[in-house]
Amino acid sequence: MRMSYGTTHVLHGIDLDIHRGEIFALLGPNGAGKTTTVEILEGFRQRSAGEVTVLGTDPAHGDDTWRARIGLVLQSWRDHRRWQVAELLKHFARYYPAPRDPAALLALVGLTEQAGQQVDRLSGGQRRRLDVALAIVGRPELLFLDEPTTGFDPEARRDFHDLVERLARDEGVTVLLTTHDLAEAERLADRIAVLVSGRIRAGGTPAELARRAAAQAEVRWTTADGTARRERTEDPSRLVWELHRDTQGPVADLEVRRPTLEDTYLHMVHREDGAGNGDGAGAGAGGRGAGRAGTWSREASDAETSDGEAPDAETSGGEAPDGEKEA
């Protein structure tokens, strides 16, 4: 799928498969294209090119029955400023064939005490909980959450994570959430796609991404003549053994460090800021990840986007954008 606003290309051909029942995080910095992607999948924005299927339907042509199967956070309820929380939920519940019980839903999102409160008196965090309550009142199969925990305090964030997990694990709801918080994506998601400047730079389970990030270790030491050295290697034990052998004694200031997923993520983000795309000079794991992202299974997907042309090299693995191993 591609998206341009006028002559500005915002999504450069992204390819995603989201499987039924999973929590999928679209992770990326400000302006990466996360909201644009979600709005296209929700049917609110018309893509410029490519194929998109959500619950078996092209969202550009989704009807009311399709929409009732999808949970999304609408801003329009904020127009009902003077309504009470429980009243508002009951009102929206009427639009769905098999809605949740409003009282049970308030308990689920931790708003029981606010049931009788006017919505414009809710705190920011409570409003976001009401957002989620309204998004799930119709028992959606697929839930879209665009940066849902922005502005949450740590406790509200943890409660929210527990709620999203319960929805996915206990009720089989598929969740697509966007975030710029790596820790949130790692904590919640079954799979993560890293979107940077409109391209999927890496993808996989949190464990896969962390393994890939740590594949190369950095070894630092000081030579006999006092020079500080550093070298990246996939086999640090061998390098250390060789150093020890060559030095014929202890290696000064020896340090072996494996990059964390955070190191790698920040590297991908900053590389976009500085060096631009695919310039062959990058040093992150983005190129590898981008390649693998395109190999994800296409089975049983709830939401799927693709170019609808020949596989796009940028996300299908045919063209790893840089030579990160040389760095």
- List interacting residues with ligand ATP (CB under 6 A): 5, 8, 10, 28, 30-36, 180
Q: Which is nearer to ligand ATP, 40 or 85 (CB)?
A: 40
Q: How far apart are CA 198 and CA 211, in angstroms?
A: 24
Rounded to 5 degrees, what are φ and ψ at 276? Answer: 80, -170
Question: Shortest Cβ distance from residue 2 to ligand ATP (Å)?
Answer: 13
| Structure-token pair, residue 124 | 């920011």
The single-letter code of the amino acid at 322 is D
Contact indicator for 122, 130 with CB cutoff of 8 Å = yes
Question: Shortest Cβ distance from residue 195 to ligand ATP (Å)?
Answer: 7
Q: Which is nearer to ligand ATP, 40 or 134 (CB)?
A: 40
Question: Shortest Cβ distance from residue 52 to ligand ATP (Å)?
Answer: 15
SS3 73: coil
| Structure-token pair, residue 309 | 């042309």
Tell me the residue length of the chain. 327
Q: Which is nearer to ligand ATP, 1 or 10 (CB)?
A: 10
Q: Which is nearer to ligand ATP, 68 or 189 (CB)?
A: 189
Question: Shortest Cβ distance from residue 10 to ligand ATP (Å)?
Answer: 4
Question: Shortest Cβ distance from residue 8 to ligand ATP (Å)?
Answer: 6
Q: How far apart are CA 255 and CA 13, in angstroms?
A: 41
Question: Shortest Cβ distance from residue 260 to ligand ATP (Å)?
Answer: 22
Q: Which is nearer to ligand ATP, 17 or 39 (CB)?
A: 39
| Structure-token pair, residue 37 | 């992607």
Spatial CA neighbour of 25 closest among 292, 206, 220: 206
Q: Which is nearer to ligand ATP, 147 or 324 (CB)?
A: 147
Which strands sit side by side in the sheet containing 70-71, from one edge to the other? 70-71, 142-146, 174-179, 23-27, 191-196, 199-204
Q: How far apart are CA 130 and CA 119, in angstroms?
A: 9
Neighbours of 212 (CB within 10 A): 18
Q: Which is nearer to ligand ATP, 11 or 106 (CB)?
A: 11
Question: Shortest Cβ distance from residue 129 to ligand ATP (Å)?
Answer: 20
Q: Which is nearer to ligand ATP, 31 or 278 (CB)?
A: 31
Q: Cα separations (Å) of 185 from 2, 134, 203?
A: 24, 23, 12
Question: Shortest Cβ distance from residue 90 to ligand ATP (Å)?
Answer: 32
Contact indicator for 193, 293 with CB cutoff of 8 Å = yes
Is 325 exposed, middle or buried, given 0-12, 13-18 or 19+ CB atoms closer than 10 A?
A: middle
| Structure-token pair, residue 119 | 């919505």
